[in-house]
Each structure stands twice: as C-alpha cells, then as structure tokens.
Amino acid sequence: MKKVLSVIGARPQFIKHVPVLSELQKRFNAITVHTGQHYDENMSDIFFNDLLLPRPEFRLTLSGKTHAEQTGEMMVGIERILLDEKPDFVLVYGDTNSTLAAALAAAKLCIPVIHVESGLRSYNMDMPEEVNRIVTDHTSKILFCPDNSSQSNLLKEGISKNVYVCGDVMKDMVRLASPYIKSIESDRPYVFATIHRPYNTDDQSRMVYILDALNKLDYDVIFPMHPRTVHKLKQYNIDLAQYSNIRIVEPMGYFESMSYQQKAHCVITDSGGMQKEAYWLRRRCITLRTETEWTDTLQNDWNVLLFDDLSSLKELVDRKLPETYDENLYGDGYAAQKIVDVIYSF
C-alpha cells in the first residue's frame, strides 16, 4: 500500500483529520505526526479523547516560542521522520506553522505535498496564517479547495494543475458530530465568544476594549478562553471580576463547543473555523476582524465583520436570524471521501 503521512498540530487540524484519516485508512498506509504546536492538554489531548482520534505514530516536543523558532524546530523533526518513513505523500491542513513546516520539509525532499483547504486568502499579509497558506499552496502537488472562490484565487496565482473543489472536511465533522451535540440548559440567552488572535490580544487597550464591549451586551457571554489569551490577561493584570456579564471557562472539547454554539443566540469570534461552524449550525456570527478568508459566510449577513468601532456590537448581536440559507455552503459533508478518491487515482 502507498504511504500517506499526515501532519497535524493545532485544534482545527485535529478536527479536520478525523474524517480524512478514516477514509485514508481504507486505501493507504496512513500514519500521523503531531507537531506539538498546541501542547496544552485542553487544546490537544482533549480533542484526541473527545473525537476518539487514534494517537499519532509520532509526536514532536517543541521548545521554540517565536514563529521562526517553532517552524524551524518542526521542520527538523519532520524531516527526520520523512527520511525514516519515506512516505509517498505528505498531507497537510490549513494554514498553521505545522502546515508550513511540513510542506517545506517534504518539498525539499521531493515528496509530493497534498494541501487540504487550499486557495483561501484574506489578503492580509500581517497574518502569519496568510503567509503559511500561500507558501504551502505554491509547494503543493495536489490542492483541495473548499469552494470555487478558493480555486479562483489559485488560478490568479498561476496554480491550475491538480486543483480540486471538494468541499470542507469540517462540514464532514459537523455531520458526524450531530448525534453527539447535547442540549445546553441555560437560565438566560447567551452569546458564545472566542478571542485569541494577536491583533485582538497583543495590545492591552484593544483587549480591554473587547472585554468592555462584551460586558455591555444584554446577554450572558460564555467565553472559553484560549491559553494564549489567558497568558495575555495575566500579563496585563486585568481583573476579570469586574466583567460580571462574562463567564470565563476552560477551553472546550469539540462536541461541547458545538453544543454551546448550537444553543447560543449568536457567536462572536476571531476564529476561522468557528465562522463556518456557526453557519452550519444556523447561528449568526460576528467576526472581530477586518477581513475573512471564508467570504461566502458573509452572504445574507450570517457572518458580519467588525473591528475598529465596537459600538455597534450590541445592535449586531440583537439582529434576528437571516431568512435565506445555503444548505450546500462548502460542500455536502462528504469532502473526505472525495479527497481520498482523488489521491488514490493520482
């Protein structure tokens, strides 16, 4: 059997890997490398336990903190594994440092790279993720796009060979997760919020501005806090007790997060994946960013971008659900099967 080595390292990749690995194992010798990019138990182990994802055959230990240190360490570790395992393909997801490190290590060894979630563009080069996804696309041999817009983005950059529109594997997971989503009991309607990106957390005044805006809402705010955000709040000596409307909780497992999203009045986030999850769960989303790579979610105001002036946050939260909905946004929920069919025929 041909060997496909998949590289994962961050929360969204654990989720995406579940349906793809299930399909890969039917036709390939499928092995997995966990880079350790998300090393916190609540950002890593909880997802393996929650999703019943098989433990990876290889796991790296990182000591680097900067993007360059982290990416460099991962490249060295991944290269050693590639030299030993000699896979026929290396499969990567999305736009993390793990993705970039694996793509570069494989490309330099002339191992074909498969990029799942190709062609997404925010056109904001200040985002490390934008750099990662562009470089990965240009080093990949097989590229799987979630929609036609992503395919068009690749064409603009001269990438047309072995490009396939297959849908989004995260929609596969929403389909698979539906029996496990629980009903959340809540005394009051609530908003579900997640904030972790540097442009929202690395400036103290910005972080306080966001917390103040959330605290003024007429809804309870349930806020599972990313370890990075927790670290920043401690660094800023921000007293969370003054924000009585915000309930800070530990990072959630996949099914718990989906359950809270499904029952929320709306979702407020700067996450890419949660913009899609909210749409598929038919929840409105307010994205605290100036742009999004998931532009189709903006249709009919299911997702709204908000950044500089948060004074309109309350009004946006109070809006009703849009009447028009696209059942087939980002595919039919069977993207993983399409992806593995293409790899097998390749």
Show which residues are catalytic: 196
- 158 close to 134: Cβ distance less than 8 angstroms: no
Residue with tokens 């929840």: 283
Which one, of 69, 63, 58, lies nearest residue 31 by Cα?
Answer: 58
Q: How far is CA 133 from the centre of its chain?
A: 12
Amino acid in the structure at residue 180: Y
Q: Classify strands 29-34 and 58-59 as parallel, antiparallel or unpaired.
A: parallel
**Dihedral angle, C-alpha 86, 87, 88, 89, nearest 10 °:** -140
- Alpha-carbon distance 16 to 336, whole Å? 9
* Residues whose CB falls within 8 Å of the CB of residue 147, separated by 6 or more in sequence, listed in order: 165, 167, 168, 296, 330, 331
**Among 266, 253, 259, residue whose Cα is nearest residue 189:** 266
| 215-240 as b/e: b if 16+ CB within 10 A | eebebbbbbbbbbebbebbeeeeeee
> Distances in Å between the alpha carbon of 7 and those of 14, 126, 139, 266, 320?
10, 25, 15, 33, 40
